[in-house]
Amino acid sequence: MRVIGVVALLLPLSSAVLHAQQPTRVSTEARRAEAAQREFGAISVVVRGRCVDAANGAPLPGCRIELHAADGRGAGGFPAELLDPEVVTTGADGGFAVRVLAHDEHQVWFVASREGRVPRRENWRHLVAGDAVDLGDVRMLAGVPAVGRVIDTAGAPVPGVRLRIDGLPLTVERYEGKNSLARYAPIESCLCQTGVDGGFTTPHAVPAGEFTLQASIGPVLLEHRQIEIPESGPMTPVAIVVSLGPYVGGTVVDEAGEGVAGVELWCGSNGSVPSARTFEDGSFRLYRIDPGQESVPIHIGRTGPCEPREPLAPVAWGTRDLRIVVQRALTLDVLVTVAGTAQPVEEFAIRCYPVGDVWTNSERRLRLAGKHEGGRLHLDGVRRGAARLAIVPKDPTLGCVELPIFVERRTPLLRVEVPRMVPMMVQLFDMDGAPLAGAVVQVIEPGESEAHGHAFVDPRSDGSGLWSSDPATRFDTLLSRAKADEGGRCIVHGLDGREDLVLLVRRGDGVLLRETGVAFGREHGTREIRLRAK
């Protein structure tokens, strides 16, 4: 077995050198696109196919193609454009081709949808890189949404009832290829819920035919009946009559007495736990599922548009005029610019979460990713008190920033500067002097723990699994990563003036090189460092 060593040429690039190597903006962007294509090719797969009319096989334009990759085991560090590729709309030929992450710990979901058509879905346990998924002709059936109303035996509307239709042809037809073996069981159900008026409409079209509609609250089936979906035109609304047991009903309002939508509530009981989310007018119903206590405490969700509060004292089943007063969370206006300039940063995502609250995992996740005109962001649902705000730019040459904030009754515009990092070219060779293509170079800002394996925080991903309720805790943080091309070259970025950064060179799951005390700066000039793996 041949032992691989590493020789790394670390060449901090001055602006003059960069200008000489990158004569035009167009060529620079083209090279970046080519480099991204090479890097993504090893960890991604292309899902392609053609949407057609199921009736005659004709190409179907205007179909939305959505893919999403996610994992539940903390495997992070993957590019956002592979985790959530941009939505593609089919053209005149009905064709699509979307690149998505291929990793053995990431599930992948696919949806093709169009108004007036039954959506087609697919779900893989994982995908294998390099083996394109060709779905062939994705047949889109015509259909209409199922509509109706749920009422009780007295004719009153029943909100919050879940409706389900099974046996729908939603899964893509069989196709060939290695990745076809990783498919999950077919997804053949459609779910929706009744609103305040007891009415419901399925979120997408249902094909013509006869189907069973089930009405339930939690695990309790209230009613089921056959419904007929017409071949064309809107469906005649169907009435579902159910017999209800006791429930707790009421309204959630803010300090001004206005109803608050989207508040999560649940109550303790034996067995299953009844839960609900307030409607647009703030009203809710918590239905009794299991026999048990004659009264139950009402809990308010910790996330949402209002501040968390203590549970209500036990409320008797059958109470229908409960009024719950909450305090609305605040808003925060943020302006993001490049440090030392007035240049706005328009494409970024954020994290914002309270300090010291261990029940805020969802708030620690990246959100609101996209373009923010002029670098301005209006953030709703911010809790009062001490918090942390992180700005994560899409541009990999811009550093991520996390800072403490204190949110009060009225917070002025918060200005956040993100640093423009400086580039460094790294060229890798094996012991024979041949370029070492395919290795990944990572730049780490040291914290309180050593950078090894996956034990660092990647602020551009949600999968590191490292966090602490103590805001003073500093973990090793990934600043930049790049994959060496055929010539063993790549460009990484670091913080200007820092001389304590860590350079990792990885291949697969192994670390070929770990170098501490690496300096980044515009005035260091060209330097050569020879490093060997142990």
Written as one string, the DSSP assignment of 322-389 is EEEE-PBPEEEEEEEEETTS--B--EEEEEEEETT-TT-TGGGS-EEEEE-GGGEEEEEEEPSEEEEE
- The larger pLDDT score, comparing residue 269 to residue 238, is at 238
pLDDT at 38: 59
pLDDT at 190: 93
- The larger pLDDT score, comparing residue 304 to residue 81, is at 81
Asked if the model's pLDDT at residue 271 lies above 80, the reply is no
* Per-chain mean pLDDT for the chain: 82
pLDDT at 209: 94
pLDDT at 105: 76
Which of 42-46, 86-90, 102-106, 482-486 ranks highest by mean pLDDT?
A: 86-90
Return d(Cα 471, Cα 467) in angstroms, integer: 9
Q: What is the mean pLDDT of residues 69-78?
A: 60
Q: What is the mean pLDDT of residues 112-116?
A: 96
**pLDDT range class, residue 531, cuts 50, 70, 90:** very low
pLDDT at 303: 64
Q: What is the mean pLDDT of residues 167-180?
A: 75
Return d(Cα 136, Cα 186) in angstroms, integer: 18
pLDDT digits (tens, 9 = 90+) for 274-331: 889 999 999 999 998 877 778 889 998 866 788 888 889 999 999 999 999 999 889 8
Q: What is the mean pLDDT of residues 124-145?
A: 89
Q: In percent, how much of the chain has pLDDT > 70?
A: 79
**pLDDT range class, residue 104, cuts 50, 70, 90:** confident
The candidate with the shortest Cα–Cα distance to 315, out of 249, 263, 252, 262, is: 249
pLDDT at 467: 58
**pLDDT range class, residue 5, cuts 50, 70, 90:** very low
Secondary structure (3-state) at 288: coil
pLDDT at 57: 95
pLDDT at 22: 41
pLDDT at 174: 67
Question: Nearest 5 degrees, angle CA 503-CA 508-CA 511?
Answer: 35
Asked if the model's pLDDT at residue 135 lies above 70, the reply is yes
Asked if the model's pLDDT at residue 10 lies above 50, the reply is no
Lowest mean pLDDT among 173-187, 274-288, 404-418, 471-485: 173-187
> Which secondary structure element, helix H or strand E, spans residue 20, and what is its range?
helix 15-21
Give just the sign of the alpha carbon dihedral 335, 341, 344, 350. Answer: negative
Which of 33-47, 119-133, 256-270, 412-426 ranks highest by mean pLDDT?
A: 412-426
Q: Which amino acid is at 14?
A: S
- The larger pLDDT score, comparing residue 180 to residue 328, is at 328
